[in-house]
Structure 1
């Protein structure tokens, strides 16, 4: 089932999310619905707060980047084969000099800005079978994971841009929270009662 994606301005996007355990109600269904929702919106990642759930769960599928000719063959192969569920994730280590890359977000449609992030991270998390994992990720994959991880920490990519840029985007962000924007996927806007 395709779920509405929560728009900028909704308080759930600012909550530090809670850990979950294997008894979380209908978790498999929730994960399946999140994959379907993410693909319908043409995303490469989706975090539970973006569908209104303040829990430490996010998904990443970077296969759309496999077509990007600007990336090396090795990176395209890595990104093309990566699909994972992250439960109760914690970034343990961030290394390397930060680098800027243009980011967007399904909860903040039609806004893209350069965000600086570390090129390598080490993450501990539980997979969809609740098996513990510790993995190191680099490059664009690390960036996507950091973006989704920020969501479960109550942080948005717009928090990582300069205050001047944020001021310049204030009107656009206000319009998003009011629903004054055209999107081709289902969204829930904080200033409106209905989903569209």
Structure 2
């Protein structure tokens, strides 16, 4: 189900809890909401649709990938950039890494490991920041 985008900074700054298999509907809602906003959005965290769970979805070309409980295990190539967020107005400066490795569960809760770089790595880092209540 396509959900409304949360824009309340106080809600967005709450810490997220680990997701469980009971949160499978949140994954589907996130994927639906990303698809509905794909003309202006490349990634979303669960808190953006009102669920404080450690789930993100990322547009990787024509694929939309769900990552449950993702953890960045390796990072290199720090750089400064600017980002925007569907939940916030404007563009803000931030620090990111050019290359990252991530351990996560897929939407079927099967363990995965991925290596990402450039813009995809940037999206993943932005969305994972949402778990800690970090707003760019």
Q: What is the TM-score normalised by the length of structure 2?
A: 0.87
- Determine which of 66, 82, 87 is the counterpart of 2:68: 87
- Kept in 2, the 8 Å contact 1:89–1:126? The answer is yes
Partner in structure 2 of residue 183 of structure 1: none
Deviations 1:96-122 (A, max 9, x none): 2x222221000112x113322111111
Paired with 2:93 and 2:41, the residues of 1 have a C-alpha distance of 18
- In structure 2, the CA distance between the partners of 1:28 and 1:55, relative to structure 1 (3 Å rule), is closer
Give me the whole-angstrom Cα distance separating, in 2, the residues matched to 1:95 and 1:87. 22
2:41 equivalent among 40, 43, 53: 43
Secondary structure in structure 1 of the residue aligned to 2:22: coil
Q: CA RMSD in A?
A: 2.0
Equivalent residue number for residue 57 of structure 1 = 55
Could you tell me how far 1:48 is from its partner in structure 2? Answer: 0.7
* SS at 1:124 equivalent: strand
Measured in 1, the distance between the counterparts of 2:63 and 2:32 equals 19
1:100 equivalenced with 2:98 (yes/no): no
Structure whose CA Rg is larger: 1
| Closer/same/farther in 2, CA of residues 139 and 29 from structure 1, 3 Å limit | closer
Equivalent residue runs for 1:164-183 within 5 Å: none
1:132-147 alignment to 2 at 5 Å?
132-147=111-126
Unaligned residue ranges in structure 1 (runs of 5+):
63-79, 158-196
For this pair of structures, how many residues does the alignment match? 136
**Structure 2: which 5+ runs fail to align?**
none
The 1:139–1:82 alpha-carbon spacing in structure 2 relative to 1, beyond 3 Å, is farther
Q: Is the 8 A contact 2:69 2:104 kept in 1?
A: yes
Between the aligned partners of 2:91 and 2:15, the Cα distance in structure 1 is 24
Matches of 1:58 and 1:32, distance apart in 2: 9
Larger strand proportion of the pair: 2
Matched residue SS, 2:37: helix
CA distance in 1, matches of 2:28, 2:53: 15
SS in 2 for 1:108: coil
Deviations 1:60-80 (A, max 9, x none): 104xxxxxxxxxxxxxxxxx3
Deviations 1:123-170 (A, max 9, x none): 11011111111111111111111000101221111xxxxxxxxxxxxx
